[in-house]
Amino acid sequence: MGTVAVVEVLMLGTVYCGMRLQFEAAAAVGVGLGVNEPEEWPPLFGSAFDCYTTANVWGKFWHQYIRQPCLGFSRYFVEVLHIPRRSSLAYLIHLTNAFLISTFFHVLSVGTVAGGYYPLRSLISDMSIFFMLQPIGAAIEGAVMALFARFVWAPAKDGQDPTKRNKVADLVVPSLCQLFGYVWVVGWFFVTSFWFVKAYAGVRMQDWKLPYSILGHLLGIPDE
């Protein structure tokens, strides 16, 4: 289990740093040449402090490269089916649609290098399990938070005399809930990321080499 956790953390760090480096380099070139304004390059990733729910991980922290195209499709379905825009059902449709599209693009991109390494059926299965578990996780945590707010937090506050409210509790309880949220998110991704990492390990991504390493050249590390 410890090895799995280390691999998942390394995978996250590699993807995060790689995508951010590419984005920042492109932004530097665009702004440096005067083609773009700095405002046209908002941060690719959000704050890690928002990652106390899986919905926040995907909606606030992680990159939003395909968010608008995904929302375009799901908004169409919501309108055609006459579903209230801000309803829980509409939210689930947006989530499910977004992760279906993410599954497709990840299978498409990894599938181009999977030949001879990893069966396409296994790749589709692993990516589908990982991505399609995400809306389920978001739905579960949303339901739990709604139940807590309705049956625990709201009654406790309503039953208090406003002049005798425990201000410390008003601060501590939300903080404890947020702390529990961080634990939940770490546990959730520890379990579900297994299939994502398994797919990339199947195509032997860990053995990929850079055609040329600037850092390796500066440090005098010979190419293997």
Please tell me whether residues 9 and 69 are part of one structural domain. Answer: no
Residue 17 maps to a domain: yes
pLDDT confidence of residue 161: 53
- pLDDT interval class at 129 (50, 70, 90): very high
Contacts of 56 (CB under 8 A, 6+ apart): 50
With a cut of 60, say whether residue 149 has pLDDT above it: yes
- pLDDT interval class at 24 (50, 70, 90): very high
Please tell me whether residues 1 and 94 are part of one structural domain. Answer: no
Q: Cα(108)–Cα(199) distance, rounded to whole angstroms?
A: 12
Question: How many domains is the chain built from?
Answer: 2
Q: Cα(21)–Cα(23) distance, rounded to whole angstroms?
A: 5
pLDDT confidence of residue 174: 79
Residue 224 maps to a domain: no
**pTM of the predicted structure, to 2 decimals:** 0.81
pLDDT confidence of residue 171: 67
Please tell me whether residues 10 and 64 are part of one structural domain. Answer: no
Condensed to tens digits (0 to 9), the pLDDT of residues 29-76 reads 999 999 999 998 999 999 999 999 999 999 899 987 877 777 888 888
Please tell me whether residues 33 and 54 are part of one structural domain. Answer: no
With a cut of 70, say whether residue 159 has pLDDT above it: no
Please tell me whether residues 112 and 124 are part of one structural domain. Answer: yes
With a cut of 90, say whether residue 195 has pLDDT above it: yes
Q: At what angle do helices 2-32 and 167-202 cross, to 10 degrees?
A: 90
Give, for 96, the enclosing helix (H) or strand (E).
helix 88-114
SS (H, E, C) 110-133: HHHHHCCCCCHHHHHHHHHHHHHH
pLDDT confidence of residue 66: 78
Q: Cα(82)–Cα(60) distance, rounded to whole angstroms?
A: 27
Residue 120 maps to a domain: yes
Q: How far is CA 38 from CA 19, 62, 224, in A?
A: 18, 20, 39
Please tell me whether residues 25 and 123 are part of one structural domain. Answer: no
The residue segments making up the domain with residue 18 are 1-44
